[in-house]
Amino acid sequence: MEESKVQIDRGKSASIKRGRLICTTIVILITVAVTAIFGISGYVGWNLTHPVRENIDSSPGALGLSYEAVTFASRVDGFCLKGWLIKAPNNRQTIIFAHGYGKNRLQEDVPLLPIVQALVNKGYNVLMFDFRNSGESAGKLTSLGQYEVRDLLGAVDFVRSRQDLSQKIVLFGFSMGAAVAIMAGAQELTVAAVIADSPFADLKSYLTENLSLWTNLPPRPFNQTVLITTSLLTGINVDGVCPLKEIKNLGGRPLLLIHGEADTDIPVENSKLLQKEYPRANLVLIPGAKHVQAFKTDGKRYLREVISFLEKL
């Protein structure tokens, strides 16, 4: 009887040990998995906010345009930003371009220089520059719009400091730069109008749904974990990058939205949301155009819409 009881106790003890071992193993596996997920997320988030700079391998001179190399400071934090100023004889307005994520002042995927040439020929001054951590400008962090607003406002300050430039200032942005242009225009009352090609409406909502397009990781759980780790590592606050919240502060000033109907990077619904929030905006949709490819898809219509918009200011 006692021997039987000992065997039972030994069995219970072995069972408890197996249970503890299984629990410990599960805890270890969960810990390893969570650590791996956040480790991968941190690595990816760091790379997204520190993209490799694209080289500047052309200039307005390639199209026969005279230009001035300029340097100015971003507003608030004083980063040294570099760019080109192309002055038009008629000096009708001054257009400041804002490039997209990971690009530089050339925005070659548009491509931008032919648009610049057309506008200069129509009498518009043009300022092209590199955001922080892009092209030849200072900085080591791309903030997806949060701090780039300061750079664009610094460009506005630069134009305002030049007595030889028209003070009727228009901001013209692409992708991330389009969102930045809307927010900077909403904050700076001296901006006469904004042109936004392929903007996102709200960075947090956009990344929550579409971050996997940029990371090549499964949406769950990585879209959320990348956002969390990126914020912890860099201090970027995606909640603060929301053209949809700021757009009303344009206060009736003209806004031209341009979006390709075949855009899968930043879906056209983003511009439709912005127009719904700001009915004063004019929305031009280009059939068959992918992300920031509206000019390449239908250049004649693109320039016609842009120039018509500018002539009405």
The tokens describing 213, both together, are: 């397009």
pLDDT tens digits along 117-169: 999 999 999 999 999 999 999 999 999 999 999 999 999 999 999 999 999 99
Give the whole-number percent of the chain exceeding pLDDT 90. 74
What pLDDT sits at residue 5?
A: 52
Residue 72's pLDDT band, with cuts at 50, 70 and 90, is very high
Q: Which residues pair with 115 in a beta bridge?
A: none
CA distance 119 to 303: 9
Task: Report CA-CA distances (Å) from 115 to 97, 112, 122, 234.
Answer: 11, 5, 11, 35
Averaged pLDDT, 79-102 = 97
**Structure confidence at residue 34 (pLDDT):** 61
Percent of the chain with pLDDT over 70: 89
Distance CA 238, CA 225 (A): 13
* Residue 30, pLDDT score: 66
pLDDT higher than 70, residue 209: yes
Residue 145 to residue 306: CA distance in whole angstroms:
24
pLDDT tens figures, 10-39: 555 666 667 676 777 776 666 666 666 656
User: Domain residue spans in the chain?
Assistant: 1-48+203-239, 56-202+241-311
pLDDT given at position 29: 61
Alpha-carbon span 229 to 220, nearest angstrom: 15
3-state secondary structure 165-231: CCCCEEEEEECHHHHHHHHHHHHCCCEEEEEEECCCCCHHHHHHHHCHHHHCCCHHHHHHHHHHHHH
Instruction: State residue 67's pLDDT score.
Output: 98
Cβ atoms of residues 212 and 220 within 8 Å: no
Task: Determine which of 192-196, 212-216, 308-312 has the lowest per-residue pLDDT on average.
Answer: 212-216
Phi, psi angles (nearest 5°) of residue 224 = -75, -45
In whole angstroms, what is the distance from residue 296 CA to residue 252 CA?
30
The per-residue pLDDT of the chain, averaged, comes to 91
d(CA 146, CA 240): 7
Give the whole-angstrom CA distance, residue 261 versus residue 289: 6
* Other CB atoms within 10 Å distance of the CB of residue 274: 25
Task: Quote the CA–CA distance of 291 and 261 in Å, as a whole number.
Answer: 9
Reported in sequence order, the residue ranges of 211-298 that DSSP labels E, i.e. its strands, are: 255-260, 282-286
pLDDT at 221 over 70: yes
**What values do phi and psi take at 306, rounded to 5?**
-65, -50
Which pLDDT belongs to residue 212? 80
Token digits of residue 246: 């700021």
CATH no. of 56-202+241-311: 3.40.50.1820
Assessment of whether the complete model's pTM goes beyond 0.75: yes
Predicted pLDDT of residue 169: 98
Structure tokens at 87: 């002055």
